[in-house]
Structure 1
Amino acid sequence: MLITLLRVAIEYGLCEMLNSKAIKPEMAPEDGKFNFDISKCESVLPGGTIDHNVEPIYKEMPKWEETVEETVARFVQITMALANKYPSENLLLVTHAPGVFSIWSEMSGDTETKTHVDYCGYVHGRRPIYFGENQSFTTGPFEVVSQNGIIMKSTSLGKD
């Protein structure tokens, strides 16, 4: 059995936008409750990859037919909560296009530009950490270090 040093924690709040804009209604469960079986992930990953000791921010999958605004708020809230929970760690958050867009928008401060996130688009962000006395610290604002697959669309329709 292969053992890995990579640790994966499942965060339900990073799931796809759960509404009919992202998922065909006929693909949604009749009761609107999406189930995620972690044991299925464990069956295809090297032993010890899933870290069961990490307490997720969201304890269950979001509700079906959440609005776009609720989804964006969810992604921002999850990202900030995880960054604050692990301030000195490098985090790789894997999610869907609305999540990448929401995180980019929050970090860049740009909520007005129309964008499109390509398949496998990403945003790399960072924020400074200032250490104080008694192992205390404060953090500065996030900044976008790099991005790929985030395409800005002009809203001026040909105007400069």
Structure 2
Amino acid sequence: MMSTMAIRLEVTPKDGNWGFDISEREAMLPKGTVDNTVERVYKELPVWEEELSRTRARYEQIVKDLADKYPTENLLLVTHGEGVGVALSSFRKGAVVCEVDYCGYVELRRPIFKKDQSFTAGEFEVLTNAGQTGVKYSDLKEL
């Protein structure tokens, strides 16, 4: 989250410009570390003071975009607690996330159908059980 909800105000740049240049950071890594053939899903960082609803929509979209980009692969997406919470609340109708523990996780699955040389995907299913994965939530229908 590119906002003061996640980043302390005293470490944020006053003008909102982080000066973070991806190419410059890649150049700092040992040669051969970065795979330059990979097409980035996002070309630039989010704008500073991103609204919470926009952050959550971005997290949900990145899960969908990466799953669509690699439809036959198992993916491990590593993120912060907000992203884990969004992975549950976006794909489990009526789920309200209360807390995500350090190293909490959500497991998603969706059916993939192959026809000729193309793929079609079904809806995501959340395989997480309440509390067993470090994600505490309630289902609205249970309240």
Length-normalised TM-score, structure 1 = 0.74
Q: Structure 1's 121 and 48: CA in aligned 2 closer, same or farther, altered over 3 A? A: farther
**8 Å contact kept, 1:125–1:142:** yes
CA drift of 1:39 comes to: 4.2
Is 1:21 the counterpart of 2:5? The answer is yes
CA drift of 1:84 comes to: 0.7
CA drift of 1:58 comes to: 1.1
Length-normalised TM-score, structure 2 = 0.81
- C-alpha RMSD over aligned residues: 2.2
**8 Å contact kept, 1:116–1:153:** no
**8 Å contact kept, 1:129–1:139:** yes
Paired residues for 1:3-152 under 5 Å: 17-34=1-18, 35=20, 37-40=25-28, 42-43=29-30, 48-111=32-95, 113-133=96-116, 135-146=117-128, 148-152=133-137
**Structure 1: gaps (5+ residues):** 1-16
Structure scoring higher RCO (CA < 8 A, sep ≥ 6) equals 1
CA distance in 2, matches of 1:154, 1:54: 38
- 1:31 is aligned with what amino acid? D
**Structure 2: gaps (5+ residues):** none
CA drift of 1:72 comes to: 0.3
CA distance in 1, matches of 2:88, 2:46: 21
